Structure 1
Amino acid sequence: MKPLPYLIIAFLCLSCSNKKTSTNKESEVQHDIVGTWKMIYAEIKKNDSLEVKNLSKSSFIKIINNSHFSFFNQDELDARNSYGGAGTYSVKGNQYVETLIYTSAEAIRNHVFTFTIKIAGDTLIQSGIEEVKKAGIKQEIIEKYIRIN
């Protein structure tokens, strides 16, 4: 019995199961981002000022499934200060792009926001420039979330 056919079959099986293409890596990143995330830190840079969001009296969560995202901010002291939004997203490498479709803020409805993301364990870091001329928004953000589901 010649071992060569068995070696060829073993080689083919191993090469197929261990090979990672960029598409597989992108799918892994998209799969890693799916879940429910709670914001633990946020900073906003406008011109020469820096604002760190006070999260001690509010809860901000982001929910991401395979094709859509949503976010909700609940002010624990005044429900009138609560807001939310939702839409579609895509991930390519470390680029995360949201299209905000559902929001009460008409000036940013259907706007596309591009961010850089990093996922390390149960932590998601999202950063980028938010610019919506129609709404008078131009700011750099860094948001950190922990996975809660």
Structure 2
Amino acid sequence: MNFKPFLILVFGMLIASQSIAATALEGTWQLISGEYIDANGDTLSYASADMQSLKVLSTKHFSFTSMKGEQFWAAGTGTYEFKDGQYVESLLLNSFGEKVGATFAFQAQLDGDKWYNSRWKDGKRVEYEVWQKVN
């Protein structure tokens, strides 16, 4: 029995499903809520920190800029992968001292124009983000 056509079909479906996931993230996203653990171990909401952020994603690259009130806070850019509920960023450039190639892995969920991310470290959630697509 010749399995070649079947394997080609399965392989094509896998590639298509990964492309659909990446395509769903393409565009501009605005941070609308969330929280993070600061250097002292305290949980701070982005709203109480007056944090604003935009993230722009192509099929493989991301860039973000964040402001805290009227002041620049952070910026970064790099590549990302999104599959099986995992969103992983790999930094190329950033303003906050991380090495090239540093990764940040999030459990991620898309729901319409909302994108929910949770990042965990040692079993504790250290970051939670809710983004809304703006285009």
TM-score grouping bracket, smaller chain normalisation: 0.7 to 0.9
Matches of 1:105 and 1:96 in 2, distance apart? 20
Number of residue pairs the alignment of both structures matches: 123
Amino acid aligned to 1:53: Y
Partner of 1:72: 65
Q: CA RMSD in A?
A: 2.8
Does the 8 Å contact 1:118/1:125 carry over to 2?
yes
Matches of 1:99 and 1:91 in 2, distance apart? 12
Amino acid aligned to 1:63: V
Aligned-residue offset at 1:104:
2.4
Does the 8 Å contact 2:118/2:125 carry over to 1?
no
Amino acid aligned to 2:94: T
Q: Alpha-carbon deviations, 1:51-100, whole Å to 9, x = none?
A: 211278442111000110011113443x3x33211001112221111001
- Indicate yes or no: 2:32 matched with 1:43: no
Unaligned runs of 5+ in 1: 1-15, 132-137
Report percent identity of matched pairs. Answer: 25
Which of 4, 8, 16 is the aligned partner of 1:24? 16
Amino acid aligned to 2:132: I
Higher alpha-carbon Rg = 1
Structure showing the higher helix proportion among its residues: 1
Unaligned runs of 5+ in 2: 1-8
Does the 8 Å contact 1:64/1:70 carry over to 2?
yes
Structure showing the higher strand proportion among its residues: 2
